[in-house]
Chains A and B, each alone.
Chain A
Amino acid sequence: MSDHDFVHVLYSDYGATHFLINRDQCPASVYASDTVPMERGNNYFKEKLIFTSENGSEHVPLFNLHKFLIKLFRFNSDVESQLVILTPLTLLSKETLSYLKEGPLLELENCRRIGVRISSETIIKQIPIDELQPHSRILRSKLKKSGFPATHPLEGSMGYLINLDRIIAGNEGKG
């Protein structure tokens, strides 16, 4: 049965490590070329996108997941990412929302979504669920809490499933 269960993911390849983000967490994506710096930014929330439409301008704060992961996993990459995925605030957990509202979202008007910069080498894939493995028991809780709930071990590359919600809130300012 498990053979037929697949999951759609965004697959960011960093060489010996790769990352998976559940597509359901981020339905939209956009190429972000012109961003505006945020006044009340923190480590990884330093910029925002401004969409203007008939509804007005929407401010979208950007979390630079790319930079974050580079720092955390000590990758040798200085390539900038241009890809941004967009997550509606509704998909985020209460804790995350409250954290954001006190920080980066504080003065933002009309903010309905946050953006997450990810590696430009990201592709969409369908991964069979049984390829995903839980972490080694002893490390499980810690990693889950930090936003990496599961692993995706491949020959030559170890993958990590990313929970955007926890990553933004659990590690903001850290890393």
Chain B
Amino acid sequence: MAPNTKVVYPGQMNSTLVIQSLISGVMMGSVYALLGVGFSLTWGVMKVINVAHAAFGLLATFMAYSLLQAYGVDPVASLAITIPLLYFGGCILYRTLLIRITSAKAVIVSSMILTFGIAIILENGMLLVWGADPRLLTTSYTSKVFVVGPFYFQYPPLIGFVMSIIGVMTIHLFLKRTYVGKAVRAAWQQPEASQLCGINLRRISTITFGLAVATSGAGGVGMGLLYSFEPHSHNLWLIHLFLVVIVGGVGNVLGTALAGLIIGIITGLSMAFLPYQWVNLLTFGLLMIILVVRPQGLFQSEV
């Protein structure tokens, strides 16, 4: 063996490998965060657990796929069409179906049952239109890499990462800085008092739900840039959403984002050093520990 060559054995500690795993973990986690913020928002503020959230995201992924195949539209650009569509879809869904359960005593449970039904309809709709084959969002930059020193950044996760930062910050700033965003926070902190200030609760609920569903589109495209997908993929995504939102604290946008990053880092690192089948055990073991030790999540609701 030449004296200057280092042999890296699989599983051996190596700082480049650690940092590389950190990078891919952060990118992966950021996309979970993006998919999770809307889920966290409806759960935290409206007490609606939208089980169909990931299915809506997946719908946007499939639409991006079709637009890419048929017209060569970049998946990120396709969001210009899918985000408004999902927003209005979410608003209509709220006005027609969800509004009927908002006065129920157990909104959380009723909303899960209702949106589970919607998820099934969406899933089968996608199955009907796109079939059961796994798809990939293959763009001109899919296999492109950006190299910095010994580290490499793949383009698709990098784009997902940037999209996540923009998406999460947009929702965060919307809630903190805009008048309507403040009204959303007020309405969910004190529903009665907010009405006494002239806030129309139905309008605010519709906007909140529409926005949450709209963000799932960006998250779905982010997921599609990272992984292959088929009409059932949203179930797997959903499990990760629960993980991210519970760890981050329901209703906390930045907490959800941070939780996404933490989980991404843990997943990334464990993928580098553990056999693959142990990765989920580790992340979901973490979920169980958090549920026992800190059931309100790591961060408090900011809404």
A binds B: no
Interface residues of A (CB under 8 A from B): none
Give the A-binding residues of B (Cβ under 8 A). Answer: none
